[in-house]
Structure 1
Amino acid sequence: MQTNNRGVVIAVGGNALIKEKSRISTNDQSEAIRETCTYIADIVEQGYNPVITHGNGPQVGFLLRRAELALGELPTIPLDILGADTQGATGYLFARNLRNVLAERGVERDVAAIVTQSVVDPADPAFDSPTKPIGSFMDEQEAEKHRTEDGWVVKEDAGRGFRRVVASPQPVEIIELEIIKSLINSGVMVIAAGGGGIPVTRENGSINGREAVIDKDLASSLLANSLEIEDFIICTAVDQVYLDFNSPNQKGISTMTAEEATGYLEAEQFGSGSMAPKIEAAVRFLKNGGRRVIITSLDCLADALDGKAGTTITN
């Protein structure tokens, strides 16, 4: 094994957890995560010391649906608790599979999944205008019931019915940061900030859970900056960033500056629900002291770190 021991934060997208809509069981998810872990193990063998973050959107949706089906017998589950549940379960699958994959290669490493809380500002304007849809579609009568009895914000979704929408505030602090630092310094590989972290606020000396969803890539960017890690990798479904994506003029970008990335954002080159948040997280990471962001697919991870694949963004 090479010995550069360089820290890197890897944000793994939801496509790494559920590859097909017909394969959503926990066994299916574990198999997908195991494949993800083989790519991570490749860079561990090259001497990198990764901190892994992951999405949890589909998993939260599944738990919400289970809660909806059980409403006649059991109370609803707050969104912060759902985030904690999915962080724990998905983190366990990552920790188990990564430890197994590394052991098969003769690499013995301790791996720990940390249920992580992300602090948001209670005055964040996102709380005044919720936009993130979660849960199942409802008819108007059910939506009105949740609006009046549970205080939900519900909106009609393109004629398909009504859905609950929640705020997506900006993360400003990682509660468990010092614990994560201590584990890393002890040689432990850490899985943290799953799903962007559990949204909490600090008010009157107390930490309180909030009904919100935090962008996973923004939270990962914050974690990487807070750990003073120089390299931040965002793994997604495509091998690199493209201009004019899915058009006849589609063009891949191998390198760009943070300034160029900002220009492309302003020109609306990237989809608001897909690549744009990743570019925003990349720019924020670089502005706050990061050295390099790589956006690529998992199978290109090792090559991208060597500059042979993916899109590299620097200042």
Structure 2
Amino acid sequence: MVPGPGAVPADPVKPPSRAPGPRTADHRARTVIEALPWLETYQDRIVVIKFGGNAMVDDELKQAFARDVVSLRYAGLRPVVVHGGGPQISALLNRLDLEVRFAAGLRVTTPEIMDVVRMVLAGQVQREIVGLINAHGPFAVGLTGEDARTMTATRRPAWVDGEPVDIGLVGEITRVDPDTLRALLDRGRIPVVSPIARGEDGQIYNINADLAASALAVALGAEKLVMLTDVEGVYANWPHTTDVIGRMTATELEKLLPSLASGMVPKMEGCLRAVREGVRMAHVLDGRVPHSLLLEVFTDDTTGTTVVPDARDTEDDNR
């Protein structure tokens, strides 16, 4: 049809948008309807999210994560982000020609490496995440476990094949003071926490981000703990199959823990501690899947592995 006088023709490059067809509209409506009970369930509830793995070095995934966290905040939840930074730390150590070594699933941290860890986590990674979130509104505030003595730690022991090993300045959290985080949440902010803590002796410790997220979730009385990582979940019989365990109780996880790959141990140890100490559920999700966080919170299309307390392992629990 030829436009009449004064009409504005359609953009010759971008075709005019069309109303969604019945199936598309129905799908969108179902998605919104499906989210409604979860919006009610999680209103004003704290969700602690550990952001790590390869998702932290992929620009599109980082952008998607920031949008998802802000979406949670707008939906009435109170998100807290605890970030890792392993790939970035290893990259800088390689450039500085410093040894990258792990034992018992944890980075061996000499005083020299601790300086790099502190610089990368608090000076690079945290600032980038804060900036990405704040591109969508003035919400994110960065801090470390040192700030306001939010986390206090002591040197963490480690064993490999039953033998003690020295992993250096790797800390184990002994105390959490959540007051600063609660004050930020009450003001509508999104805390972004770097997993660094100070000991009673003044020593600075490198804290595994999974365990830091778990400790903060317990101290804050979080509804759930979400571990975003670069695996699909807990495999039932790795490496023989790639079948993911969708749901397990704390006791089931405790029995499985010794057989897990070393990199999964801190994640699942964190999940176990969280649900044993009051967090209603913990999830391990594939952070390589865009918007996996929103899918977990607001839909029934949950992937990954969910860990629940033994006493609440019923159909009345969430997914």
Note if contact 1:11-1:220 (Cα within 8 Å) is conserved in structure 2. Answer: yes
**TM-score, normalising length from structure 2?**
0.68
SS at match of 1:187: coil
Spell out, residue by residue over 1:223-242, the C-alpha distance to the aligned partner (whole angstroms, 9 max, x if none): 11111212100111233322
Measure, in 1, the Cα distance between the counterparts of 2:179 and 2:119: 22
2:94 aligned with 1:62, yes or no? Answer: no
Runs of at least 5 residues in structure 1 that lack an aligned partner in the other structure: 20-29, 70-75, 103-107, 132-165
Post-superposition shift, 1:56? 1.3
Spell out, residue by residue over 1:253-295, the C-alpha distance to the aligned partner (whole angstroms, 9 max, x if none): 22111111111114x1x2112x222111100111111111011
One-letter code aligned to 1:17 = M
Measure, in 2, the Cα distance between the counterparts of 1:198 and 1:262: 27
Measure, in 2, the Cα distance between the counterparts of 1:289 and 1:244: 29
Post-superposition shift, 1:314? 0.7
Measure, in 2, the Cα distance between the counterparts of 1:40 and 1:16: 14
One-letter code aligned to 1:303 = L
Summarize the alignment of residues 20-169 of structure 1 with structure 2, pairs less than 5 Å apart. 32-68=61-97, 78-86=112-120, 87-100=122-135, 102=136, 108-117=137-146, 118-122=151-155, 124-126=156-158, 129-131=165-167, 166=168, 168-169=170-171
Post-superposition shift, 1:50? 0.9
Measure, in 1, the Cα distance between the counterparts of 2:246 and 2:72: 20
| Aligned-pair Cα RMSD in Å | 2.7
Measure, in 2, the Cα distance between the counterparts of 1:61 and 1:94: 18
SS at match of 1:232: strand
One-letter code aligned to 2:203 = N
2:264 aligned with 1:271, yes or no? Answer: no
Spell out, residue by residue over 1:19-63, the C-alpha distance to the aligned partner (whole angstroms, 9 max, x if none): 4xxxxxxxxxx5542232133344334332210111112222233
Note if contact 1:88-1:113 (Cα within 8 Å) is conserved in structure 2. Answer: no
Note if contact 1:13-1:235 (Cα within 8 Å) is conserved in structure 2. Answer: yes
Measure, in 1, the Cα distance between the counterparts of 2:232 and 2:53: 15
One-letter code aligned to 1:224 = A
Q: What residue in structure 2 maps to residue 136 of structure 1?
A: none
Distance 1:188 1:83, change over 3 A: same
Measure, in 2, the Cα distance between the counterparts of 1:222 and 1:121: 14
Say how many residue pairs are matched: 245
Post-superposition shift, 1:202? 0.5
SS at match of 1:243: coil
| Identity within the alignment, % | 24
Q: What residue in structure 2 maps to residue 7 of structure 1?
A: 46
Post-superposition shift, 1:217? 0.5
Runs of at least 5 residues in structure 2 that lack an aligned partner in the other structure: 1-35, 99-109, 310-319
* Structure with greater Cα Rg: 2
2:163 aligned with 1:170, yes or no? Answer: no
Specify which of 195, 198, 203 is matched with residue 196 of structure 2: 198
Specify which of 238, 251, 261 is matched with residue 243 of structure 2: 251
One-letter code aligned to 1:47 = G
Measure, in 1, the Cα distance between the counterparts of 2:125 and 2:53: 11
Q: What residue in structure 2 maps to residue 314 of structure 1?
A: 308
Measure, in 2, the Cα distance between the counterparts of 1:251 and 1:60: 31
Specify which of 16, 21, 46 is matched with residue 55 of structure 2: 16
